[in-house]
Homo-oligomer: A and B are copies of this chain.
Amino acid sequence: MTYQPVDAQRDPLVRDTPARETIGTSAASDSLRARPCPHNPAASCSNCRLSDLCLPIALNKSEIQQLDNIIERNRPLIKGEHLYRQRDEFRSVYAVRSGSFKSYTLTSDGKSRVTGFYMPGEILGMDGIGTRIHGVSTMALEHASICEIPFSQLEKLSHQLPNLQSRFFAIMGNEIVKDQHIHTLLSSYTAEQRLASFLLSLSTRYARCQLSPDRFLLQMTRGDIGEYLGLTLETVSRGFSSLQKKAIISVKSREIAITDMAGLKAILGD
């Protein structure tokens, strides 16, 4: 299996078939929704180790159970597979259960631009809540599993559970704040500062899901990182090399070790 998605020959911008028919691989073309995940037969929020950083924060046991009932846990996605595509009708938001994803748009001249990376416990797909059409495509960067939360049901349940409504408002608010940070980053940071900020963001997010904050594997290519940070892949590569030369990080292909956390933070000017 190469990095190239199984359905790469299809142009995501000129597709005409509905999303759920394109999510399956050629071997398994049946709908994603129809297949309960065989890998997590007894999966539930109640026993999910991510429950304290995902949607259920601030919900009590009975509320979590009700949330559990509307969540659909489907078969895992393989690397390169799409969860949904730009212009697909919006039906659900998703919580990453394992693995990681990237969201991206295609610009008018055919280039792709990454709008976000998503890790376990994070919510994605909120583009589309307003327009009812997904504004970006989202693809698994590695073998990954997700919890699908049909939005109409989430709205109904939020209406019954004030805590859930509050929680979802907060999640969307945090997404807006995150976007503002990126706006500032892209409009004023140097290449080195962008990379430092990116690595620090990954670090804290890995820490959140109990993984090492100073040793991790990048699941995305240098090109993906560049598309996200507004840099070319060459500049990303040079930036990593330069940070390594300064003994701030150690890079070996996709393996990153942060050897001088304070130094990395200092690049952002305190």
**Known: A173-B172, A177-B131. Contact between A187 and B113, CB under 8 A?**
yes
Q: Determine whether the beta carbon of B170 is less than 8 Å from that of A129.
A: yes
**Chain B residues within an 8 Å CB radius of A184:** 105, 107, 113, 115
Per-residue contact bits, chain A 84-116, to B (CB 8 Å; 1 contact, 0 not): 000000000000000000000101110101010
**Chain B residues, CB < 8 A from A175:** 130, 176
Whether, in the assembled complex, A40 has its beta carbon less than 8 Å from a beta carbon of chain B, the answer is no
Interface assignment of A72: CB less than 8 Å from any CB of chain B: no
Number of copies: 2
For A, the interface residue count at a CB cutoff of 8 angstroms equals 46
> Cα distance A171–B173 when bound, in Å?
11
Residue of chain B at shortest CB distance from A134: B177
Known: A109-B269, A158-B165. A115 touches B180 (CB 8 A): yes
Chain B residues in 8 Å Cβ range of A108: 268-270
A35 within 8 A of B: no
Give the complex CA separation of A174 and B169 in angstroms. Answer: 13
A182 within 8 A of B: yes
- Asked if A179 is an interface residue, CB under 8 A from chain B, the answer is yes
Contact of A183 (CB < 8 Å), options: B126, B165, B183? B183
Interface residues in A63-95 by Cβ distance below 8 A to B read none
Instruction: Kindly state the separation between the CA atoms of A164 and B131 in the bound complex, as whole angstroms.
Output: 16
Tell whether, in the assembled complex, residue A172 and residue B174 are in contact, meaning their CB atoms are under 8 Å apart.
no
Which A residues are closer than 8 A to B by beta carbons?
105, 107-109, 111, 113, 115, 126-131, 135-136, 155, 158-159, 162, 165-166, 168-177, 179-180, 182-184, 186-188, 227-230, 268-270
